[in-house]
């Protein structure tokens, strides 16, 4: 089954119907999430209206981590089993994950100014998220640093797998060190500590970000498959 779905042509045939489904799901969930964020979710008794940044900041931070883990899994599959489709999935995920990570840093800075009095502190959570962004950028730079795409995939896959150690550091940084960043409020022992009136908009926005990722990932993978076919055709023409 693993080899079955690794075939690019079969992947295209199976995934093309999902593209409009993910597109519509993203539009509907994003519209519902934004409506709940601005019209149904209450202001926080301490943070006031600035709490609404949370509904973009938290999902983007989650997706930054999720994309990196997914990219690492795809890179490992491509490195070990030499599945070209897995390499393309890792390559297609990198800019999406970098965008989510950058968005989480920007929104976190906007929230930090009224709450902490500054846009940036060298907090353990903030610093480790910045390192995550650099890992994404390093992957993309290393990916394109070689004339041979195979060498680029192999070198960048090693970088991604080494950088996975940063994921648990980000997750547990608020527990291991004394930081300004608040601890986990949703995924924690004993259940979420956020009131449902704030939790539901957060979950809807998170789901919207997830469907957006799947939608854009499929589009990018389709484009990468087409580009690889064009490269192969040109090489055959050059050889002939």
Q: What is the pLDDT of residues 197-217, one digit of tens each?
A: 899 999 999 999 999 999 999
* pLDDT tops 80 at residue 81: yes
Strand partners, 44: 48
Other residues' Cβ atoms within 10 Å of the Cβ of residue 72:
21
| 167's tokens | 């994921």
* pLDDT tops 90 at residue 149: no
The stretches of 36-178 forming alpha helices (DSSP H) are 54-81, 84-116, 124-143, 149-163, 166-176
Q: Band of the pLDDT at 190, cuts 50, 70, 90?
A: low
Of 43 and 18, the structure prediction assigns the larger pLDDT to: 18
Average pLDDT, the chain: 90
DSSP letter at 42? P
Are the CB atoms for 62 and 54 separated by under 8 Å? no
Say what the pLDDT of residue 3 is: 64
DSSP letter at 48? B
Q: What is the pTM of this model?
A: 0.92
Of 148 and 67, the structure prediction assigns the larger pLDDT to: 67
Sign of CA dihedral 104, 107, 112, 118: positive
| 236's tokens | 């055959």
Say what the pLDDT of residue 147 is: 83
Mean pLDDT of 151-158: 94
Q: At what angle do helices 124-143 and 54-81 cross, to 10 degrees?
A: 40
CA distances from 219 to 14, 138, 208 (A): 13, 23, 17
Mean pLDDT of 41-54: 87
Q: At what angle do helices 18-35 and 196-239 cross, to 10 degrees?
A: 150
């Amino acid at each position: 089954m693993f080899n079955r779905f690794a075939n690019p042509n079969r992947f295209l045939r199976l995934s093309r119907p999902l593209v409009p489904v993910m597109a519509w799901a993203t539009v509907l969930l994003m519209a519902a999430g934004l409506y709940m964020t601005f019209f149904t979710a209450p202001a926080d008794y301490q943070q006031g209206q600035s709490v609404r940044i949370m509904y973009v900041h938290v999902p983007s931070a989650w997706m930054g981590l999720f994309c990196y883990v997914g990219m690492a899994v795809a890179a490992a599959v491509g490195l070990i089993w030499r599945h070209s489709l897995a390499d393309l999935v890792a390559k297609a995920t990198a800019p999406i994950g970098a965008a989510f990570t950058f968005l989480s840093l920007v929104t976190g800075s906007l929230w930090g100014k009224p709450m902490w009095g500054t846009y940036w502190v060298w907090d353990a959570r903030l610093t480790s998220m910045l390192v995550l962004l650099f890992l994404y950028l390093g992957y993309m730079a290393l990916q394109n640093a070689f004339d041979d795409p195979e060498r680029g995939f192999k070198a960048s896959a090693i970088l991604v797998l080494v950088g996975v150690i940063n994921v648990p550091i980000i997750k547990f940084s608020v527990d291991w060190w004394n930081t300004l960043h608040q601890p986990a409020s949703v995924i924690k022992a004993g259940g979420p500590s956020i009131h449902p009136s704030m939790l539901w908009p957060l979950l809807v926005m998170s789901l919207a970000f997830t469907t957006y990722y799947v939608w854009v990932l499929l589009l990018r993978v389709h484009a990468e498959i087409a580009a690889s076919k064009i490269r192969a055709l040109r090489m055959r023409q050059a050889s002939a």
